[in-house]
Structure 1
Amino acid sequence: MLSEKYRHIVIEGPIGVGKTSLARLIAQRFQAEVLLEKPDDNPFLEKFYQEPARYALPTQLFFLFQRIGQLRDLTQRDFFENMVISDFLLEKDRMFASLTLDEEELKLYQQIYQHQSPQTSTPDLVIYLQASPQALIERVQKRATPYEANITEAYLSQLSDAYSRFFYHYDDAPLLIVNTEHLNPIDHAEDFDLLLNQIDGMKGRREFFNWSE
């Protein structure tokens, strides 16, 4: 069974791709613990989307300390007692930092990251969800989260490119890259089952799932 094969699964991908919803669905199916980012708790996030240059650093540092705290709480318990599904990798925090911070801010951020980041267990599997910037902006607009109102397609395109570069080099854990352009595991039960079968059947460290109707 999937829950026996993978004790810790991370779902990743750019804003609007559906990683949080998928993490919840998988956790519900296998009665797993879910560990989610909490963007609503970040008091700088809405300001960042309005004035990125001014609020990038406090936004990034808040997320960094939030994620570190969540992972630290997890590692203080018996990590493998329950299956855990998460919607973030701590390592991707540096990717966002390199995208949003200027040179001096990035130097400061990197110093803080090196001193604060905990030693965490490597996931058993990372699922990287992909979608075009056009699809992402449609999904962001559909869910109508107030602080995301100022997100542009240009920013999502830049973010998608950064994710692609990040996972091109990622080799810390087995990786399943899923194109979600024609796959909707959130709203369609048959698509969800297709994805679970793909996950369960993984044999290599890096596989692609590009479903076309």
Structure 2
Amino acid sequence: MKNTLRTGVRNIVVEGPIGVGKTSLARRLGEHLDAELLLEQPETNPFLSRFYQNQQRYALQTQLFFLFHRLDQLHERTQLQLFPRTVVSDYLLEKDLLFAGLTLNEDEYKLYRQIYDRLSPQASVAPDLVIYLQAKPETLIARVRKRGIDMERRISDDYLMLLGESYTRFFHHYDDAPVMVVNSENLNFADSTDDFLLLVQRIESMRGRREYFNRGD
């Protein structure tokens, strides 16, 4: 039987830094809600592995590939609005600017921003809910090392720490959609049904624009 969330929540984004578990949660929510999934699919980016080896040389190519891939997905989604269906995604388009600001030099960022500003309004639709997963930098580092994805072996600890800090700043100011901030330190949405259903319950009871969920709340 198809599950649903509270009225009006049809477009859900799960976000957070590398290693926090956003794709696993997005997949589980998608299955629970019989929703359409929009996923980043970083393994399809031919520049990403080279970026982790030489960020300065491959940052712009990596960012532009991700941007065009996401814009294509979101544009295709907007064409299907005549047949609305719940959508769960593991990325927020605006976070591309976060990564661009971290990795591009001044001239590259100006070029990237021109392209982003020209194309993003055609595909950008504010989500009904953003689930922002947080974890301590040392937790993110440990999780990335544990899962052992080959190209991620080249990610430095410093980069992962900087990324986590950047996400914190980004979501401190983000106000385009309601946000559920989730401390994932002691939660395992991929493997624990109890944890997952507890999160669903918290989403159901959410009434404000920003709420916080920690294990034990």
Q: TM-score, normalised by structure 2?
A: 0.94
1:78 aligns with 2:84: no
- 1:79: Cα distance to partner? 6.4
Query: What amino acid is the match of 2:52?
Result: Y
Query: What amino acid is the match of 1:8?
Result: N
Count matched residues: 213
- Cα separation, partners in 2 of 1:20 and 1:80, compared to 1, 3 Å: farther
Provide the alpha-carbon RMSD of the alignment. 1.4
Distance 1:80 1:125 in 2: 20
* Higher mean C-alpha deviation, range 118-127 or range 157-166: 118-127
- Cα separation, partners in 2 of 1:116 and 1:5, compared to 1, 3 Å: closer
Structure 2 unaligned residues grouped into runs of 5+: none
Q: Partner of 1:2: helix, strand, or coil?
A: coil
- 1:112: Cα distance to partner? 1.0
Distance 1:130 1:67 in 2: 23
Match of 1:136 in 2: 140
- 1:3: Cα distance to partner? 6.1
Match of 1:172 in 2: 176
Contact 2:23 2:39 in 1 (8 A): yes
Q: Partner of 2:51: helix, strand, or coil?
A: helix
Identity, % of aligned pairs?
55
Distance 2:197 2:41 in 1: 27
Query: What amino acid is the match of 1:210?
Result: N
1:99 aligns with 2:129: no
Match for 1:201 among 195, 201, 205? 205
Contact 1:15 1:156 in 2 (8 A): yes
Task: List structure 1 runs of 4+ shifted beyond 6 angstroms.
Answer: none
Match of 1:32 in 2: 35
Match of 1:154 in 2: 158
User: Any idea what the Cα deviations from partners look like across 1:55-86, whole Å, max 9, x if unmatched?
Assistant: 10100011011111110010011266211000
Match of 1:120 in 2: 124
Contact 1:7 1:80 in 2 (8 A): no
Query: What amino acid is the match of 1:17?
Result: V
Contact 2:74 2:123 in 1 (8 A): no
Distance 1:99 1:52 in 2: 10
- 1:4: Cα distance to partner? 4.0
